[in-house]
Amino acid sequence: MENLIQDYPWGSKSYLQNLLNIKEDGPLAELWMGVHPRGMSKVDISGSTSLSLDEFIKEDAQDRLGKDVLRRFGNLPYLFKFLAAGEPLSIQAHPNKKQAEEGFDRENKKAVPLDAFNRNYKDDNHKPEIVCAITDYWAMKGFRRPDEIKKYFGGFCPEDLLSVLLPAGKGEEAALKHFFITLMNLEDSQKESLLGAALSWCGKQDDDACRWVLKLQDKYPGDISVLAPLYLNTLCLKPGEALYLPAGELHAYLQGFGMELMANSDNVLRGGLTAKFMDLEELEKTLLFESVPVKRIVPEKQDDGSEIYRTASKEFELVYIDCRSKSISIKRSYPVSILAVLEGNIRISEGEETLELKAGESCFLTAESPVRLIEGPGKAFIARVPE
């Protein structure tokens, strides 16, 4: 497969460069694998002929997607990425399916161009996602408990303002909603005063969340959202650990290299740490105002030697394979997949045919194919539709 690299400003100057063995001084952020129109992959068919992945699938959709996937989704339902965060991404959330369909239709009826600065919905799909750490991977995920937020803000926030941000007597959902909306809509003078006190206090603390407040302030001075590590769960994934982000959960990736797999969508509603468009009223409609303990997903080992990261998604499933010491056989009924090599070399055999891939390369595995043998020495991730 030939895949598009997105060079967003927050990208890393080393992760993708090292993976792909290329010289590029500027930041490289994401390598997209899939059929999304903003980053359509191409497939090499005979060495001299290539087609867009979408065209290749449509030539024989039932054979290449599988009858069930074609019936349920109509096309490849996921987008697969290498994600290289050299700097923090914006704080964001993604709409659920109904919200995406309604928002996309609403903006189309208003004739808002797809590439307009103030466009919220780029497509009509939801965007649940999983990210798996390749390196240490810092992220923020979901709201902290109100009492935990109060403990942090109580260190620097005046009592009269703290009682406005977190008034007594509210349930968790109401308290978190009131806190977030009130904080984001403080008057400029209040934001400036609160930020000054917070930065002074955080500089004296031995705490990861406080250290990230200071780092974010360096990048986004004056943005009230630099306080997000104090109200969002802030954590570091170790290599091999993963997070699942459902629709409506406020989050941000801060730093690290990972594999990201999501429903085939690019819908993002932003809530801070960005120069891009922010529609806080629309974001509020999509958010889950709840505090849920962070679950680090670890893979389940399978009899064939692969390891699967389980989530609630119906569109995608992430699989890890390590072929350095043993080969892995993929059965005939294996779901439509994309295999991306992380390290070393991978050889895939279908009867007499063999394909060899090196780190950073990928291939499309159709649903209706013979048994495949995957050999190393190498490591790879596979994106597939859940069985």
Cα separation, 12 vs 27, whole angstroms: 5
Helical ranges in 3-60 per DSSP H: 15-20, 53-59
What six digits make up the tokens of 262? 């999501």
Q: Rounded to the nearest 5°, which phi and psi values hold at 285?
A: -65, -25
Task: Give the closest residue to 85 by CA, choosing from 286, 307, 251, 294.
Answer: 251
Task: Say which of 270, 296, 310, 372 is annotated catalytic.
Answer: 270
Separation of first and last alpha carbons in the chain: 24
**Around 108, how many Cα atoms within 13 Å sit in the side-chain half-sphere?**
9
Cα separation, 186 vs 157, whole angstroms: 13
Verify whether residue 324 is a known catalytic residue.
Answer: no
Cα separation, 174 vs 76, whole angstroms: 39
What six digits make up the tokens of 336? 């439509």
Cα separation, 165 vs 179, whole angstroms: 5
Cα separation, 164 vs 154, whole angstroms: 12
Q: Are 378 and 341 in contact (CB under 8 A)?
A: yes
Q: Are 159 and 253 in contact (CB under 8 A)?
A: no
Report helix, strand and coil shares of the chain as percent, to nearest 5.
30, 30, 40
What six digits make up the tokens of 273? 């740490």
CB within 8 Å of 175: residues ≥ 6 apart: 146, 166, 167
- Rounded to the nearest angstrom, the gap between the alpha carbon of residue 50 and the centroid of all alpha carbons in its chain is 28
The catalytic residue positions are 270
